[in-house]
Amino acid sequence: MKQIFFLLFAFWTVTCFSQNQFAEKEPFVIGETLTFQSDVLKEKRVVNIYLPPSYESENKKAYPVIYLLDGSADEDFIHIAGLVQFSTFPWAQLIPESIVVGIANVDRKRDFTYPTTNAKDKADFPTTGGSEKFIAFLENELQPLINRQYRTTMERTIIGQSLGGLLATEILWKKPELFSNYIIISPSLWWDDNSLLPLKRAPLDNPKKVFVAVGEEGPIMESGAMALTAQLKQDRLIQTSFKYLEDLDHSNTLHIAVYEGFKAIYKKDVTKD
């Protein structure tokens, strides 16, 4: 009997001790999500939002906005939001505190490409050709929504890689006023037999800052990025920077390229104490 009592007491003691070891849990929140119906695209769209640490306390301050293509939570939103946070720390002061808008994808091959006459492009991308509508969505729906919902300045940056880089370049060519700064990484300028760069660019009303980067990605990707850079450097209204990322390829350039882009675009805008 004493043995049974001892075993029960020991079990009760271990159980109570174990229960006391559980810590309280609460969600770790890095942002918020907006879901809305797009009249332009005829579908629901989702954007992920990162707000600077001072956003709630400094309720009269407005912030620049960084628009991130491929901005789903399982794509590039989390690590780019983290990079933005790091880049605004007092000891870094690489960029000003900024809002990040990560645009979640529905069909990036549709949204990031303009119509092509190339048969292989059509076969590989059967839903191709929706960039005009997507750009209209950015201009007429998303940017106004963000400006209504949050305290924003007129400074807007777009980040795009691969087909996202193609779209960012198309916007720079056709609707340059939509963004102040362009971070264009490994752009797929081979699309439609390299037809974009020969087109005449829309005139600029204001100066722009453009950063182009590419890794060791082969002659097609590298030559496209270099041709884009060379063409932009001929325009005095565009401050153009280029970075060739050795030892990196198409799969792993983005994070480092965005960091380098921040340094290039904001190098004269943020003064350290």
Q: What is the pLDDT of residues 172-202, one digit of tens each?
A: 999 999 999 999 999 999 999 999 999 999 9
Report the CATH number that the domain containing residue 246 is assigned in CATH.
Answer: 3.40.50.1820
Residue 224: inside a domain = yes
Mean pLDDT, rounded, of the chain: 92
Q: How confident is the model at residue 167 (pLDDT cuts 50, 70, 90)?
A: very high
For position 22, what pLDDT does the model report?
Answer: 78
HSE-up of residue 84 (Cα within 13 Å, Cβ side): 28
Q: How far is CA 11 from the centre of its chain?
A: 54
Distances (CA, A) of 263 to 182, 183, 258, 267, 273: 13, 11, 9, 5, 17
For position 2, what pLDDT does the model report?
Answer: 45
Residue 120: inside a domain = yes
Residue 34: inside a domain = yes
Burial group, residue 195, by CB count within 10 angstroms (0-12, 13-18, 19+): middle
For position 6, what pLDDT does the model report?
Answer: 45
Q: Which amino acid is at 67?
A: Y
HSE-up of residue 181 (Cα within 13 Å, Cβ side): 23
Q: What is the pLDDT of residues 22-70, one digit of tens each?
A: 789 888 888 999 999 999 999 999 999 999 999 999 999 999 999 999 9
| Alpha-helix residue ranges (DSSP H) falling in 97-240 | 108-111, 119-124, 131-137, 143-149, 163-174, 191-194, 219-232
* Whether residue 5 has pLDDT greater than 70: no
Q: In total, how many domains does the chain have?
A: 1
Q: Which structural domain range is residue 72 located in?
A: 28-266
Residue 1: inside a domain = no
- For 140, list phi and psi in degrees, rounded to 5: -100, -15
Residue 258: inside a domain = yes
